[in-house]
Amino acid sequence: MSKATTILDRLRPSADWAKSSVFSRTRWKKVRFGDVVDNLNETCDPKDAGLERFIGLEHLEPGSLHVHTWGNVADGVTFNRRCRPGQVLFGKRRAYQRKVAVAEFDAVVSGDIYVLAPRGDRLLPELLPFICLSERFFQHAVGTSAGSLSPRTNWSSLASFEFELPVVDQQQRLAEMLWTIDDVTESYLNAARACAGWVSAFSEHRCLDGRFRRVRLEVILKAITAGKSVVGVNEPACDGERGVLKVSAVGPRGFDPAENKRLLNRSEFVPTLSVKAGDFLITRCNTKELVGRVCIAPEDHPSLMLCDKTLKLDFDEQAIAPAYMEAVLKSREVRAQIEAFASGTGGAMKNISQDHIRSLLVPLPELAAQQALVMELQHGLESHARLEAAAESATSLQFAITNELMGIRV
């Protein structure tokens, strides 16, 4: 992995790219998207056609050219527009989400997805998805979208998009380059998924070993500190300003300081509620699936304070390793308790009380055993982070080449 990462580092975007023959534009021709691309509208009854899968907008992942999930026609579907392997799928609703993929199997697709293919032989099929992923194309798609709640771009607007089309031999070289980078990206992402699976399995089986005695969380809790409700505007605080955390600051990948609201009145800021390195945070109000989400703040944020929907847990560190308890509170065993305790009549937001948090049953091995488990877990988390960083480097390189192709330096 380190060798490949080094190679990618050497291939960072360069101002000298324009001098490469692959980017020489001497024979490129300006075209309209609709002159070289068809918006296909092949329809069928999926059952009569023997199609088992359907692709909805929710199955397209932003920024990924691969369809990893799909729905089953047998479960009931009204879609009848067909796609075939190699055709390009473009999400026309909320185009800013950047949903583009290449179909790898026969299926029917949602009406919110265009099915695209080259018209004639001027544009290679292998290059089309990268044109659709380019910054210029998305700017055009978003800029021509209509509708306030769920904006959509129409085909006539996309068809009017103009760009310079390389000659076929350059298209071939560019496509080979971009798909090779895509293969590298997918390899890193697959490895990252496998690593994440190991981390999850380790947490579930080793950190929650059935031989460890269970105790109420209050046994190892020194205090619970509640945040405060203050008035903020829905934009992050800038330098010199004060902010209050959103509940989303306790995020899926840990603490996210960007998720805050700028305070309207600086005098409402409570310094004792500011975020400090090592703070163990838990959400007391969120959806059923997210209430009780936890994270540990990695560094000080003296200009950000806890909101009323976020609590800080102070543990007896003579008895508990906070990183161990973070893994425990994320486990299925403890999540089941949290979701059972979560109250609220609304379908969206649920609450968990401080008393219920204190009553959670958690495993408590000896501190030395906790620390040993944390070390193993940390190795897995660091490997996962390195794999994701390598995938991001490859994606950045692909993005830069695509935009150089479309005449944009990003």
Q: Write the pLDDT tens digit of every residue in 263-296.
A: 989 899 999 999 999 999 999 998 888 899 999 9
What does the chain come to in residues? 410
Confidence class for position 11, pLDDT limits 50, 70, 90: very low
Using a 10 angstrom Cβ sphere, with 0-12 exposed, 13-18 middle and 19 or more buried, the burial of residue 155 is middle
Residue type, 71: G
Q: Give Cβ neighbours of residue 236 (< 8 Å, ≥ 6 apart).
A: 243, 258, 259, 260, 261, 262
* Distance separating alpha carbons of residues 156 and 88, to the nearest angstrom: 17
Instruction: Give the span between the Cα atoms of 109 and 73, in whole angstroms.
Output: 11
| pLDDT tens track for 172-209 | 999 999 999 999 999 999 999 999 999 999 999 999 99
Is 50 exceeded by the pLDDT of residue 139? yes
Question: How far apart are the C-alpha atoms of 28 and 306, rounded to whole Å?
Answer: 56
Strand partners, 50: none
Q: What is the DSSP string of 59-95?
A: GSPTT-S-----EEGGG-----EEE-TT-EEEE-BTG
Mean pLDDT, the chain, rounded, equals 91
Mean pLDDT for 143-162 is: 90
Identify which of 69, 76, 145, 139 has the alpha carbon closest to the alpha carbon of residue 114. 145
The residues near 214 (Cβ < 8 Å, ≥ 6 apart) are 361, 362, 363, 364
pLDDT digits (tens, 9 = 90+) for 359-404: 999 999 999 999 999 999 999 999 999 999 999 999 999 999 998 8
Contact 36, 165 (CB under 8 A): yes
What is the residue type of 99?
K
Beta bridge partners of 148: none
CB-CB contact of 290 with 339 (8 Å): no
- For 162, other C-beta atoms within 10 Å of its C-beta total 12
Lowest mean pLDDT among 7-11, 163-167, 373-377: 7-11
Assess contact for 218 and 359: CB atoms under 8 A.
yes
| Alpha-carbon separation of residue 219 from 17, 160, 223, 357, 359 (angstroms) | 62, 67, 11, 12, 9
The one-letter code for the residue type at 165 is: L
Q: Is the Cβ–Cβ distance between 343 and 279 less than 8 Å?
A: no
- Residue pointed to by tokens 């479309």: 406
Task: Please give the C-alpha separations between residue 305 and each of 126, 133, 232, 259, 260, in angstroms, as whole numbers.
Answer: 50, 39, 12, 12, 9
Q: What is the pLDDT of residue 3?
A: 40
Residue (of 121, 103, 141, 98) closest to 35 by Cα position:
121
DSSP code of 271?
A: G
12-63 pLDDT, tens digit each: 444 455 556 778 888 999 999 999 999 999 999 999 999 999 999 999 999 8
Residue 2: what pLDDT? 41
Model confidence at 354: pLDDT above 90: yes
DSSP class per residue in 127-139: THHHHHHSHHHHH
Closest to 59 (Cα-Cα) out of 71, 42, 51: 71
Q: Do 185 and 4 form a contact (C-beta atoms < 8 A)?
A: no
- The Cα–Cα gap between 178 and 123 comes to 15
CA distance 213 to 131: 58
| Whole-angstrom distance, CA of residue 382 vs CA of residue 195 | 10
Torsion of CA 332, 337, 342, 348, to 10 degrees: 20
- Average pLDDT score over residue span 216-223: 96
